[in-house]
Amino acid sequence: MTNEPLVGVIMGSTSDWETMRHATETLEEFGVPYEAKVVSAHRTPEWMAEYTRTAVSRNLEVIIAGAGGAAHLPGMV
């Protein structure tokens, strides 16, 4: 098994970690390699678009996106 992430877990801000950590804990239970990042649709929309555009070339198979408040991140991804 590779350590290269297959799943990207992204959240709008660090305050979303308490909710999103459950996804990473489940991935760890199943031995699925992942990366977890803060990707704001509001503060860093260009980086969010780049993250999404390059997901396949980085071998990500799934992106789990979550955000509180307005929660534009999942819809924009």
pLDDT of residue 2: 62
pLDDT of residue 3: 86
Q: Do residues 8 and 35 make contact, with C-beta atoms less than 8 angstroms apart?
A: yes
Phi and psi at 31, nearest 5°, equal 70, 30
Helices (H), 1-77: 17-29, 45-53, 72-76
| pTM of the predicted model over 0.95 | no
| Full strand arrangement of the beta sheet holding 7-11 | 34-38, 7-11, 62-66
Please report which helix (H) or strand (E) contains residue 8, including its range.
Answer: strand 7-11
| Local confidence pLDDT in tens for the 77 residues of the chain | 468 999 999 999 999 999 999 999 999 999 999 999 999 888 999 999 999 999 999 999 999 999 877 778 887 88
Domains present along the chain, CATH in parentheses: 7-76 (3.40.50.1970)
